[in-house]
A and B are shown apart, each in its own frame.
Chain A
């Protein structure tokens, strides 16, 4: 079996997973774009690997596979950064919500007396 077939199967599987997650509202629109783009790019590259060679030549990279590693690593770093920022924002919101619920509960027990 040619390794290209494996690449196509894997990338199409990823695209299907993204679409299914979107369809059943597990993946919100906010994150849909980046995952759709990632999945589509990998499908295109799997079908036309010569594209990778052309881009590598353009950037003067001798081994096209290195371009794939550098680009992939960079995109994963960006996704991680986005996750960290989201987590920080969510923690901040959680803190505010807990504090305001606590304040309301105290107020209520005070009013009951």
Chain B
């Protein structure tokens, strides 16, 4: 299976070199792409020197938009699977084969920290919020998912086609919304247990205020996702497909 590894990166010069060096032992470097989302540091230069392809956004558009570019690149170049890997060293390349083994039987495979029985080590409130989010997304996906905000995941051919047309861009909501969007378009989602490293940087939600804002945002996205129809670009894609099959 022709597989692309996509690494969205924003100001990651401290960790991107080590991440690519470790990845080199697990995947051919010509099938790795770094999407530099408007970094103001040496992220692009380090990635190019490591021998991988680089797409560079001239302005910072967010992780969702970076993944959108990655999916468009994958669709254009005939890839059958796309693995998302974080640039901060959180995701371990030795689990690539574990994820890729399942992509034949599901359209999206999410690497979960908690599928093996692990718990979200945090305060009582945050653990329960994570549980509610996971439960809601599981209901959309009609399968039990434990780590829906995990960015370590594989998209198969159908998911690449869908996400090349539209990938959610809302800040911090792309991981959750993409699962809901895919489920609503009849794609199947599965998860496999993985082990992750501690993040090099801080969590996106450190203070109570930020954590509340983050949770509120994700819950709003979940409510909206259930109520919204298809994004216009996906409607166009379906119309095109129908015309082609009629002709």
Whole-angstrom CA separation of A93 from B60 in the bound complex: 9
Given the interface contacts A97-B59, A100-B58, does A28 sit within 8 Å of B170 by beta carbon?
Answer: yes
Q: In the complex, which residues 63-97 of chain A have their Cβ closer than 8 Å to any Cβ of chain B?
A: 93, 96-97
Is A22 engaged at the interface, CB distance under 8 Å to the other chain? yes
Most chain A beta-carbon neighbours within 10 Å: one of B59, B173, B217: B59
Q: What's the dominant secondary structure at chain A's contact region?
A: helix
> Contact between A24 and B170 (Cβ–Cβ < 8 Å)?
no
> Contact between A29 and B231 (Cβ–Cβ < 8 Å)?
no
- The answer, among B58, B170, B221, for a CB contact under 8 Å with A97, is B58
CB neighbours (8 Å) of A23 from chain B are 227-229
Over the window 223-244 of chain B, the binary record of Cβ atoms lying under 8 Å from chain A Cβ atoms (1 yes, 0 no) is: 0100111011000000000000
CB neighbours (8 Å) of A25 from chain B are 228-229, 231-232
Whole-angstrom CA separation of A93 from B224 in the bound complex: 28
Whole-angstrom CA separation of A101 from B59 in the bound complex: 12
Whole-angstrom CA separation of A32 from B228 in the bound complex: 12
CB neighbours (8 Å) of A19 from chain B are 227
Is A33 engaged at the interface, CB distance under 8 Å to the other chain? yes
> Contact between A29 and B232 (Cβ–Cβ < 8 Å)?
no
Whole-angstrom CA separation of A2 from B195 in the bound complex: 65
Given the interface contacts A96-B58, A97-B58, does A30 sit within 8 Å of B227 by beta carbon?
Answer: no
> Contact between A24 and B59 (Cβ–Cβ < 8 Å)?
no
> Contact between A29 and B221 (Cβ–Cβ < 8 Å)?
yes
CB neighbours (8 Å) of B170 from chain A are 28-30
Whole-angstrom CA separation of A85 from B224 in the bound complex: 25
> Contact between A24 and B229 (Cβ–Cβ < 8 Å)?
yes
> Contact between A22 and B228 (Cβ–Cβ < 8 Å)?
yes
Is B220 engaged at the interface, CB distance under 8 Å to the other chain? yes
Q: In the complex, which residues 191-247 of chain B have their Cβ closer than 8 Å to any Cβ of chain A?
A: 217, 220-221, 224, 227-229, 231-232
> Contact between B229 and A93 (Cβ–Cβ < 8 Å)?
no
Whole-angstrom CA separation of A22 from B58 in the bound complex: 29
Given the interface contacts A29-B224, A30-B170, A32-B220, does A24 sit within 8 Å of B58 by beta carbon?
Answer: no
> Contact between A96 and B224 (Cβ–Cβ < 8 Å)?
no
Query: Chain B: which residue is nearest A29 at the CB level?
Result: B170
Whole-angstrom CA separation of A50 from B232 in the bound complex: 42
CB neighbours (8 Å) of B217 from chain A are 29
> Contact between A29 and B173 (Cβ–Cβ < 8 Å)?
yes
Q: In the complex, which residues 163-191 of chain B have their Cβ closer than 8 Å to any Cβ of chain A?
A: 170, 173
How distant is A16 from chain B, measured CB to nearest CB, in Å?
A: 13
A residues in contact (CB < 8 Å) with B = 19, 22-25, 28-30, 32-33, 93, 96-97, 99-101
